[in-house]
Amino acid sequence: MIAVRKAEDRGHANHGWLDSHHTFSFASYYNPSEMGFGTLRVINEDRVAPGMGFGTHPHRDMEIISYVLDGALEHRDSMGTGSVIKPGDVQRMSAGTGVTHSEYNHSPAELVHFLQIWIEPKERGIAPSYEQKNFSAEDKRGRLRLVASPDGRDGSVKIHQDAWMYAGLLNEGDAVEHPVDPSHRAYLHVARGEVEVNGRKLGTGDGLKVVAETGLKLANAKNAEVIVFDMA
């Protein structure tokens, strides 16, 4: 089964300082048929105005990944972590037994555009933890680069779930095949640009749900940045 989740069908909220699109039900957007996909619970595409952001707030029992597309995101949390997340960085925060954090646009002049991703953990009540790594554009160009995994292999950040997250930068002439175990679910999100996946044409903000298939074939891309989740 392959199903397209169109960008325009996502939830949308514009608070002035925050312009957010929700792939799955979140906050005031509720769609009973879009409560997540497999262990993937949230993909929020956020644009935050200069100097603005999310004040200190709590999380619990969730793997939270931030992926910055443009600008810079400043992070602080109750574990004592303080960092600035820029394009190419992948930040993972395991909320576990409980953590508070804040996220602000680091720039006084430019928007920050990022994806906030939530993955349900395999085990509840773990100790909170934090990890951040950078993956260069060259490392992602023309292929799907593993950026998060259960075992941290190939330099990826480690998440507490049987899920693998890949990121790729694709353009004309690139042809990428990604095998998928038929017992897994996969979700592909187009962060920007255009790409054809298993014969379906997708644009910025579109998603693709994959169940009981043997793989993904990506081609005919135009300035595309894609994220793939492969979930047991």
- For residue 34, the domain's CATH number is 2.60.120.10
Q: Report the SS3 class of residue 153.
A: helix
Beta carbons of 188 and 227 less than 8 angstroms apart = yes
What's the distance, CA 145 to chain centroid?
14
The rounded distance, in Å, linking the Cα atoms of 37 and 151 is 22
> Coil, strand, or helix at residue 154?
helix
Tell me whether strands 215-231 and 163-170 are parallel, antiparallel or unpaired.
antiparallel
Three-state SS at 155: helix
Residue-wise DSSP of 6-43: -GGGSEEEE-SSEEEEESS-BTTB--TT-S-BTTEEEE
Distance, in Å, from the CA atom of 70 to the CA atom of 86, rounded to the nearest integer, reads 7
Which phi and psi (to 5°) does residue 140 adopt? -105, -10
| Structural domain range at position 207 | 2-231
pLDDT tens, position by position, for the chain (232 residues)? 999 999 999 999 999 999 999 999 999 999 999 999 999 999 999 999 999 999 999 999 999 999 999 999 999 999 999 999 999 999 999 999 999 999 999 999 999 999 999 999 999 999 999 999 999 999 999 999 999 999 999 999 999 999 999 999 999 999 999 999 999 999 999 999 999 999 999 999 999 999 999 999 999 999 999 999 999 9
**Residue 183 has which token pair?**
């017992």
Element housing 138 (H / E)? helix 137-140
Q: Is the pTM of this model over 0.85?
A: yes
- Count: domains in the chain: 1
CA dihedral 22, 109, 222, 21 (to 10 degrees): 10
